[in-house]
Amino acid sequence: MQFSTAMASVVLAVEEHTIRFYQDALGRLDKAGVPYLVGGAYAFARYTGIERHTKDFDIFIRRADFEPAAKVLREAGYEAELTFPHWLGKAFKGDDFIDLIYSAGNGVAEVDEIWFEHQVPETVLGMSVGIIPAEEMIWSKGLIMERERFDGADVAHVIKAVGHKLDWRRLIDRYAHLWRALYAHIVMFGFIYPSHRSQVPQWVMKELGDRIANETAQPDATEKVCYGTIISRQQYLKDIHEWGYADPRLKPMGKMSAEDIAHWTAGIALDGAK
Which of 132, 158, 174 is where one domain is finished? Answer: 132
* Within a domain: 1: no
Using DSSP bridges, classify how beta strands 96-101 and 88-93 pair: parallel, antiparallel or unpaired. Answer: antiparallel
Sequence-distant (≥ 6) Cβ neighbours of residue 218 within 8 angstroms = none
CA pseudo-torsion sign 176, 101, 111, 170:
positive
CATH assignment at residue 108? 3.30.460.40
pTM of the model: 0.92
pLDDT in tens, the chain (274 residues): 444 333 445 555 668 888 999 999 999 999 999 999 999 999 999 999 999 877 789 999 999 999 999 999 999 999 999 999 999 999 999 889 999 999 999 999 999 999 999 999 999 999 999 999 999 999 999 999 999 999 999 999 999 999 999 999 999 999 999 999 999 999 999 999 999 999 999 999 999 999 999 999 999 989 999 999 999 999 999 999 999 999 999 999 999 999 999 999 999 876 754 3
78 and 171, same structural domain? no
126 and 41, same structural domain? yes
* Within a domain: 235: yes
Range of the domain at 238: 228-267
88 and 29, same structural domain? yes
244 and 205, same structural domain? no
* Within a domain: 8: no
Please tell me whether residue 131 adopts helix, strand or coil conformation. Answer: strand
Would you put residue 264 in left (φ > 0), alpha (ψ -120 to 50) or beta? alpha
Which of 106, 132, 158 is where one domain is finished? Answer: 132
94 and 35, same structural domain? yes
* Within a domain: 158: yes
* Within a domain: 2: no
Which of 132, 156, 189 is where one domain is finished? Answer: 132
